[in-house]
Structure 1
């Protein structure tokens, strides 16, 4: 498998945290949905990703590949082939004025956080504290996965689109996604960060989510998230609902121009304010592809 540097993984992890897996009950089990009707000349497709997964759990079957081949462009949350993205990500990963957040971290979390960072990255929070909490969370998440090599649907589709000479576009910019996190209180983010290294609930929940994702069971994913009370759940309107609303006009315009393969976090698909529901309300037929 191709190896990626830290900056590239931060891009994917940004998507992972921002998209989450919050969803709502769907009557059919599927991660791939065909979009048709409402004047569209060609069908487009919507695929729900999970942004990081171990290679042996990575799902890629003929129906997904066929849907991808039958479209003309790839649209994800971010334009992953933007040559300036890594530079922007690195710049925006730092706290304003290079402020170090170490003094704001509760003592009950600091020792465990220091130990984790020293063991995995060779430096303590006194050095890494200039990074925004979501970056630190990303670094921890990467090391907590039960595999050394990581697969990403976003990077997979980016490479496939490049091979097939398809246009790659994004629904959002890195700057916009950073602003989403900036709306969440720092103290809240730091507490979530501390819980990642002092509690094992998040790792257990993630493993169960992987199982539900592989089963394409959006109902089960909804139930798990609804009971978890994570950052995504507490700030769902900011992190999911508002963004879904913003996407629909752009998605409509893109589909009218060319057959499009949309690949976004599975958390954006379901619910009354999810992309599937919003597209249906806009007059499109959205069907599960089995």
Structure 2
């Protein structure tokens, strides 16, 4: 979600010409479920969500999320998070970043009044998440996201809840983000932070409209080209791992509503494309 580049005119071309939503019905042989692309952080102005979300939620008995991310806030989980996302022993970012990138990082931190010592031991993934959250907080964009909203709602309504992967796997992804390519990753992140307000707005616009082609160009293409290994591990590999679970759900009598990050839906390696290739009917709910 952090990697977004596109010219302003592209947004103009797609505004108000899409009457879709980020919610899809998947069906075959009389069985169906719903899939929705989500954004993990929103603000109060982004609510209410498109009506298609509640349409799918009300017609589903089981709600499925990427992982049980509530565990990240548990005190017992904190030592593992620190072990995975911080450099061990005497290692710091200075051991992995080239001189120019380290200098750019320190200039950014000074501008934001963040002591370098506060982040010196952060691995690139943790550094990226921390600084992005800081920027979003300044823009009042650090509110409850779609996943958290429906997680709380499902618990309140006592619906069944399932997960596509473990939080340990998600933590591994975060730990390895930018590994062996630290300078390029951090340099790209710093450029992205300077444009985060405009690009986050473009991304949300494409997401709300269910415009996967626009979302792909806004959020995915430059990341895919610059960091192919990361693209493979965070999207392609995970999408393929989820497919057998989704297909199994489509074979049972329950109706599931599956929610995961919107970028997992888009492109030739996206979940929707993979399902279509397997002969499933994919319909947008609007």
Fold agreement, TM-score > 0.5: yes
Match of 2:97 in 1: 105
Which runs of no fewer than 5 residues in structure 1 stay unpaired? 1-15
1:55 maps to which of 44, 53, 77: 44
TM-score (norm 1): 0.77
2:173 maps to which of 173, 177, 180: 180
Q: Deviations over 1:126-176 (max 9, x none)?
A: 342222211110111112222164231111111111111122222112222
Query: Deviation of residue 197 (structure 1)?
Result: 3.4
Q: Deviations over 1:55-88 (max 9, x none)?
A: 2134513331121121112111112345868434
User: Secondary structure of 1:56's match?
Assistant: helix
Match of 1:265 in 2: 261
Residues 225 and 233, structure 1, Cα contact 8 Å, conserved in 2 = no
Distance between the aligned counterparts of 1:187 and 1:233, measured in 2? Answer: 11
Match of 2:15 in 1: none
Distance between the aligned counterparts of 2:123 and 2:43, measured in 1? Answer: 26
Q: Deviations over 1:228-266 (max 9, x none)?
A: 346886332222112111101112223426211100111
Q: Deviations over 1:31-62 (max 9, x none)?
A: 1001222352xx31100012222321345133
Residues 80 and 158, structure 1, Cα contact 8 Å, conserved in 2 = no
1:213 maps to which of 207, 226, 231: 207
Distance between the aligned counterparts of 1:263 and 1:90, measured in 2? Answer: 27
Distance between the aligned counterparts of 2:156 and 2:146, measured in 1? Answer: 15
Structure 2 CA distance for partners of 1:219 and 1:55, relative to 1, 3 Å: same
2:33 maps to which of 44, 64, 80: 44
- 1:144-159 alignment to 2 at 5 Å? 144-145=135-136, 146-147=139-140, 149-159=142-152
Match of 1:94 in 2: 86
Q: Deviations over 1:84-115 (max 9, x none)?
A: 68434344222345732233223333345335
Moved more, 179-188 or 154-163: 179-188
2:283 maps to which of 273, 287, 290: 287
1:30 maps to which of 21, 28, 37: 21
Residues 42 and 142, structure 2, Cα contact 8 Å, conserved in 1 = no
1:274 maps to which of 266, 270, 277: 270
Q: Deviations over 1:201-231 (max 9, x none)?
A: 4554333222222332212122334653468
Q: RMSD between aligned alpha carbons?
A: 3.2
1:128 maps to which of 93, 111, 119: 119
Residues 28 and 288, structure 1, Cα contact 8 Å, conserved in 2 = no
Distance between the aligned counterparts of 2:57 and 2:236, measured in 1? Answer: 26
2:54 maps to which of 65, 73, 87: 65
TM-score (norm 2): 0.78
Residues 22 and 208, structure 2, Cα contact 8 Å, conserved in 1 = no
Distance between the aligned counterparts of 2:258 and 2:237, measured in 1? Answer: 18
